[in-house]
């Protein structure tokens, strides 16, 4: 609580790891993440029993699994946040390569679980979604490329990052997974903008994305169906969007009461993609605003701390990680209220899913590692180091 009131305490050399980590880590962001996971467990108690009964499991089968996944995720988050930026970059690069290979193998070894998109590997006891683990690694690798391009005599890192982004987006679109494709593009665009990209290039890239969306609409039945459903003014009450919209409307300001919601009996994805509808129905708008506030705190706090950072790699990677976490939450909630087309994207730390919660923990753990209080040195020293 000391940092929350008086600000960060200067780092003392020679301190043990845990005390030094506790003094330098952003406790506001860490607290918000823990609260979000707690809210997810609470909502899981309401949303998952109907699905468990349908699949022949004990009422709280999915809650117990999420508690296991969440425990692993919290350990991963804390351990990752203790790492130095250099170690984070090295491990993120290895993780990105592994996730990229796994993503490339999906057309041959993956499964769609009857949802029409091949995004998972089935391990029998669990499933793994490579794209979830690809995102944080991609952000770090792309930031490394862009930071290297700013050095005197450095490689054309921005061009390399653009080529890498295009390859990943095409691979995700082939699944098809246009939601993750959009998130990858957005994360890269944020870092490219922060790195000092000319507005003309960003406008040109926006035009390319628009053209790509038009091509996808003309050639992908999956994509066209979701866009048509979004543009249709009449919502079919028997669809997932119809159930979610009605649940949010019924919840009102204070909700219908704990355990009194009905949408969880109709929505097959009530515990994952549409868990915000359960929150809105049972706990009302107040709960939804609290969840939005927690995500906003994570993003704003991280960006404020990164504004003081002079290392271009840390600044770029931190901005990218903060923005993809916030935008993923915004997309998930935007779909539920029909502000965006259906994307099939989880709510970080709140939705059920091992891949989602562990990958989100990796991303926020990296973010906490990048935003820890550390001596910045003089700007002249940094420029001198680049010129060597």
User: For residue range 81-113, what is the model confidence (pLDDT) as tens digits?
Assistant: 999 999 999 999 999 999 999 999 998 998 888
Task: Give the pLDDT confidence score for residue 378 in this predicted structure.
Answer: 46
CB 346 within 8 A of CB 332: yes
- Is position 282 within any domain? yes
**Residue 311 CB partners (closer than 8 Å, separation 6+):** 85, 147, 382
Whether a cis peptide bond, with omega within 30° of 0, leads into 176 is yes
Task: Give the pLDDT confidence score for residue 380 in this predicted structure.
Answer: 44
Q: Which tokens is 227 given?
A: 């866009």
CB 367 within 8 A of CB 318: yes
- Is position 11 within any domain? no
- Is position 288 within any domain? yes
Task: Give the pLDDT confidence score for residue 201 in this predicted structure.
Answer: 80
* 212, burial (CB in 10 Å: exposed 0-12, middle 13-18, buried 19+): middle
Q: Comparing C-alpha atoms, which of 223, 198, 201, 225 is closest to residue 212?
A: 223
Task: Give the pLDDT confidence score for residue 377 in this predicted structure.
Answer: 53
Q: Comparing C-alpha atoms, which of 147, 168, 145, 165 is closest to residue 157?
A: 145
Report how far residue 184's alpha carbon sits from residue 181's, in angstroms, rounded to the nearest whole number. 5
The tens digit of pLDDT for each residue in 27-36 reads 999 999 999 9
- Is position 388 within any domain? no
User: In this structure, what DSSP letter does residue 376 have?
Assistant: -
From first to last of its 388 residues, what are the pLDDT tens digits of the chain? Answer: 444 444 544 455 557 888 899 999 999 999 999 999 999 999 999 888 888 888 888 989 999 999 999 999 999 999 999 999 999 999 999 999 999 999 999 989 988 887 777 888 988 878 899 999 999 999 999 999 999 998 888 899 999 999 999 999 999 988 888 889 989 999 999 999 999 877 788 788 888 888 888 888 888 777 787 788 778 777 777 777 888 888 889 988 989 988 788 888 887 778 888 999 999 999 999 999 999 999 999 999 999 999 989 899 999 999 999 999 999 999 999 998 888 887 778 999 999 998 999 999 999 999 999 999 877 654 444 444 544 4
- Is position 206 within any domain? yes
Q: Comparing C-alpha atoms, which of 155, 151, 138 is closest to residue 191?
A: 138
User: In this structure, what DSSP letter does residue 10 have?
Assistant: P
List the beta strands (DSSP E) in the chain.
121-122, 127-128
Task: Give the pLDDT confidence score for residue 210 in this predicted structure.
Answer: 86
- Is position 363 within any domain? yes
In which residue are the tokens 């970080």 written?
A: 348
Around 249, how many Cα atoms within 13 Å sit in the side-chain half-sphere?
Answer: 8
CB 348 within 8 A of CB 329: yes
Kindly report the pTM of this predicted structure: 0.89
Which domain does 185 fall in, by range? 22-374
3-state secondary structure of 121: strand
3-state secondary structure of 350: coil
> What is the tally of structural domains in the chain?
1
- Is position 228 within any domain? yes
Task: Give the pLDDT confidence score for residue 6 in this predicted structure.
Answer: 45
Task: Give the pLDDT confidence score for residue 177 in this predicted structure.
Answer: 86
Compute the CA torsion angle 275, 173, 167, 316 (nearest 10 deg): -30
Task: Give the pLDDT confidence score for residue 14 in this predicted structure.
Answer: 59
Q: Please give the radius of gyration of the chain, using alpha carbons only, rounded to the nearest integer.
A: 21
- Is position 8 within any domain? no
Task: Give the pLDDT confidence score for residue 1 in this predicted structure.
Answer: 45
């Amino acid at each position: 609580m000391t940092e929350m009131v008086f600000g960060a305490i200067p780092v003392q050399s020679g301190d043990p790891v845990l005390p030094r980590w506790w003094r330098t880590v952003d406790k506001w962001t860490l607290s918000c993440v823990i609260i979000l996971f707690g809210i997810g467990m609470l909502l899981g108690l309401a949303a998952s029993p109907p699905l468990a009964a349908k699949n022949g499991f004990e009422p709280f089968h999915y809650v117990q699994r999420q508690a296991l996944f969440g425990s692993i995720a919290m350990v991963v988050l804390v351990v990752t946040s203790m790492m130095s930026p250099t170690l984070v970059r090295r491990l993120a690069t290895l993780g990105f390569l592994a996730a990229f290979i796994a993503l490339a193998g999906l057309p041959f070894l993956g499964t769609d679980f009857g949802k029409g998109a091949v995004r998972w590997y089935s391990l029998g006891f669990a499933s793994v979604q490579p794209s979830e683990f690809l995102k944080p690694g991609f952000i770090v690798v792309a930031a490394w490329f862009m930071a290297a391009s700013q050095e005197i005599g450095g490689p054309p890192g921005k061009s390399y990052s653009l080529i890498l982004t295009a390859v990943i987006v095409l691979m995700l679109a082939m699944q098809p997974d246009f939601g993750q494709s959009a998130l990858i593009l957005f994360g890269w665009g944020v870092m490219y903008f922060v790195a000092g990209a000319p507005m003309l290039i960003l406008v040109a890239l926006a035009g390319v994305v628009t053209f790509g969306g038009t091509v996808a609409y003309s050639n992908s039945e999956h994509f066209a169906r979701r866009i048509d459903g979004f543009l249709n003014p009449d919502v079919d009450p028997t669809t997932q969007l119809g159930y979610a919209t009605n649940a949010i409307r019924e919840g009102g300001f204070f909700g219908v009461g704990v355990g009194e919601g009905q949408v969880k009996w109709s929505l097959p994805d009530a515990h994952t993609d549409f868990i915000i509808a359960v929150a809105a129905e049972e706990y009302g708008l107040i709960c939804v605003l609290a969840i939005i506030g927690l995500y906003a705190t994570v993003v704003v706090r991280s960006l404020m701390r990164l504004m003081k950072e002079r290392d271009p790699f840390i600044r770029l990677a931190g901005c990218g990680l903060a923005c993809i976490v916030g935008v993923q939450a915004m997309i998930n909630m935007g779909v539920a209220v029909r502000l965006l087309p259906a994307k099939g994207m989880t709510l970080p730390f709140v939705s059920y899913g091992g891949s989602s919660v562990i990958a989100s923990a990796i991303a926020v753990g990296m973010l906490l590692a990048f935003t820890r209080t550390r001596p910045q040195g003089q700007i002249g020293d940094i420029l001198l180091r680049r010129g060597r």
